[in-house]
């Protein structure tokens, strides 16, 4: 099978790595890819949001499947053009991707589907959450616990313009549920947790994600199934009813509250950095599952899951999420890999043969282990082998879960 993978982040590097393990894969191409992906695939200089360019590339490669990683091209409709041309695509249409592209649309679908979510409030008052309606790369949400935060949130909302939703502020722990969907059926992957805040102890601004782990210890098979039934399948049915069947990864971002699970948001694609922790645990033919989803038959697919845990630690530019870094040397990836870790590249570039920084989130270092504690210590040991001047990481990825599992500081 000839596959074209669209995107250039850590999520896509993880997908390239995992798809590369499939015996059905004959050729892997990426657009545009990154230096890490280039070691696994043929990269083409076509931007992820260049719909015409992707269509031309997919045609010239005679791609059997296109897998689209990031949300922006999906929300812009790149999957539609490919599908109209008869090319199987793992990724939703523009109409179905609105579930991520518009928070107001997502709320409307959730209400129609009877999915538990945060209540909408008539007017902003503390405590509440303000959400800009459109895509904002994780920066369009402001939690307002104090009047000062509310004032700042309203100011930010004005800079985003457009509709701003005001909703109930929920307390609890978050969970990411990723399901491979074929328009009507869904296959759920390992439940994951990501760490959105910039600094240890969940301090600082929201980021794209500073780390992740999977599976989440207190979410067993039965609970995961319940979440699939209450938070994923009803939305699939509602989108299909509206003539916008969802094909791709439907990612439910949940808050597990004292009153039960509540959906905070849907994403129309694999999570980043959840994917880096979830895919190493997949047993079986991931490519076959994506191809089945793209052609409407994920119902017949079963994927196993390794009896193990995975932890991903993101190495980011020192000033991330406010600033990015370019041109600083990245060293030690081979040593980290020799320790048994997977190193997924995100914001990197090659400059005269040297791998250098090129973005905010630079690398994800993933390790697996029989226990979460083992995976965590391996991931941090491997991350310590990598040297990037001025870069930083959170030190507490998966720490609370390990402490809960082992009954003490891990
Ligand atoms: P979203 O883009 O909607 O997922 O929001 C980004 C992050 O903001 C979430 O992952 C949560 O950490 C937080 N968040 C969003 N909505 C709520 C809510 N209603 N209550 C508490 N936290 C929220
Ligand atoms: N890690 C959260 C996201 O991918 O949106």
**184 and 309: one domain?**
yes
**Interstrand relation of 42-43 and 309-316 (parallel, antiparallel or unpaired):** unpaired
Ligand 2 pocket residues where CB is under 6 Å? 194, 209, 267, 271-272, 274
**151 and 70: one domain?**
no
* Residue 111: inside a domain: no
Mean pLDDT of the chain: 95
% of the chain surpassing 70 pLDDT: 98
Q: Which of 231, 255, 262, 263 to mutate to test the pocket of ligand 1 (most atoms within 8 A of CB)?
A: 255
State mean pLDDT over 293-297. Answer: 96
Ligand 2 midpoint to CA 269 (Å):
9
CB atoms within 10 A of CB 27: 14
* Residue 71: inside a domain: yes
Ligand 1 midpoint to CA 264 (Å):
6
Q: Which of 253, 278, 313 to mutate to test the pocket of ligand 2 (most atoms within 8 A of CB)?
A: 253
Domains contained in the chain, number: 3
* Residue 310: inside a domain: yes
State mean pLDDT over 224-248. Answer: 98
* Residue 105: inside a domain: no
Q: Where are the alpha helices (DSSP H) in 139-189?
A: 147-160
**356 and 385: one domain?**
yes
**221 and 152: one domain?**
no
Beta-bridge partners for 164:
132
* Residue 100: inside a domain: no
* Residue 215: inside a domain: yes
Cα gap 327→325, rounded to integer Å = 7
pLDDT in tens, 348-406: 999 999 999 999 999 999 999 999 999 999 999 999 999 999 999 999 999 999 999 88
Give Cβ neighbours of residue 337 (< 8 Å, ≥ 6 apart). Answer: 343, 382
CA neighbor of 313 nearest in space, from 398, 253, 400: 398
* Residue 284: inside a domain: yes
Ligand 2 midpoint to CA 117 (Å):
18
Query: pTM here?
Result: 0.96
Is the separation of the CB atoms in 281 and 342 below 8 Å?
A: no
**78 and 132: one domain?**
no
CA neighbor of 401 nearest in space, from 376, 379, 382: 376
pLDDT in tens, 305-315: 999 999 999 99
**194 and 211: one domain?**
yes
DSSP conformational letter for 316 = E
* Residue 109: inside a domain: no
**202 and 285: one domain?**
yes
**156 and 199: one domain?**
no
Q: Which residues of 121-130 are buried (b: 16+ CB within 10 A; e: fewer)?
A: eeebeeebbb
Domain with 320 in it? 173-406
| CATH number, domain containing residue 69 | 3.40.50.20
**284 and 361: one domain?**
yes
């Amino acid at each position: 099978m000839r596959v074209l993978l669209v995107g250039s982040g850590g999520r896509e590097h993880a997908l390239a790595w995992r798809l590369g393990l499939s015996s059905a894969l004959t050729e892997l191409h990426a657009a545009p890819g990154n230096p890490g992906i280039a070691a696994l695939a043929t990269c083409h200089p076509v931007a992820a949001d260049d719909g015409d360019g992707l269509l031309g590339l997919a045609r010239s490669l005679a791609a059997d499947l296109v897998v689209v990683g990031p949300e922006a091209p999906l929300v812009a409709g790149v999957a539609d053009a490919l599908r109209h041309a008869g090319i199987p695509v793992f990724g939703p249409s523009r109409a179905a991707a609105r579930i991520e592209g518009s928070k107001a649309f997502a709320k409307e679908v959730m209400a129609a589907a009877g999915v538990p979510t945060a209540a909408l409030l008539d007017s902003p008052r503390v405590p509440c959450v303000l959400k800009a309606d459109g895509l904002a790369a994780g920066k369009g949400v402001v939690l307002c616990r104090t009047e000062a935060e509310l004032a700042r949130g309203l100011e930010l909302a004005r800079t985003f313009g457009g509709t701003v939703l005001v909703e109930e502020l929920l307390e609890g722990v978050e969970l990411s549920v990723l399901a491979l969907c074929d328009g009507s059926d869904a296959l759920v992957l390992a439940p994951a947790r990501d760490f959105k805040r910039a600094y240890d102890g969940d301090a600082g601004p929201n980021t794209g994600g500073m780390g992740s782990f999977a599976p989440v210890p207190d979410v067993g098979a039965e609970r995961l199934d319940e979440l699939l039934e209450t938070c994923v399948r009803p939305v699939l049915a509602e989108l299909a009813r509206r003539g916008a069947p969802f094909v791709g990864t439907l990612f439910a971002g949940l808050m597990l509250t004292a009153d039960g699970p509540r959906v905070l948001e849907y994403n129309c694609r694999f999570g980043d950095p959840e994917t880096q922790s979830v895919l190493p645990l997949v047993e079986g033919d991931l490519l076959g599952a994506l191809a089945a989803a793209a052609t409407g038959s994920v119902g017949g697919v079963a994927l196993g899951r390794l009896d193990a845990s995975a932890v991903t630690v993101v190495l980011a530019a020192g000033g991330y999420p406010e600033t990015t870094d370019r041109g600083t040397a990245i060293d030690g990836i081979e040593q980290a890999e020799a320790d048994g870790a997977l190193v997924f590249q995100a914001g990197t570039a090659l400059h005269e043969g040297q791998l250098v920084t090129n973005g905010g989130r630079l690398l994800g270092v993933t390790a697996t282990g029989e226990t979460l504690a083992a995976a965590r210590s391996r991931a941090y040991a491997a991350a310590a082998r990598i040297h990037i001047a001025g870069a930083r990481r959170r030190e507490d990825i998966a720490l609370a879960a390990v402490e809960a599992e082992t009954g003490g500081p891990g």
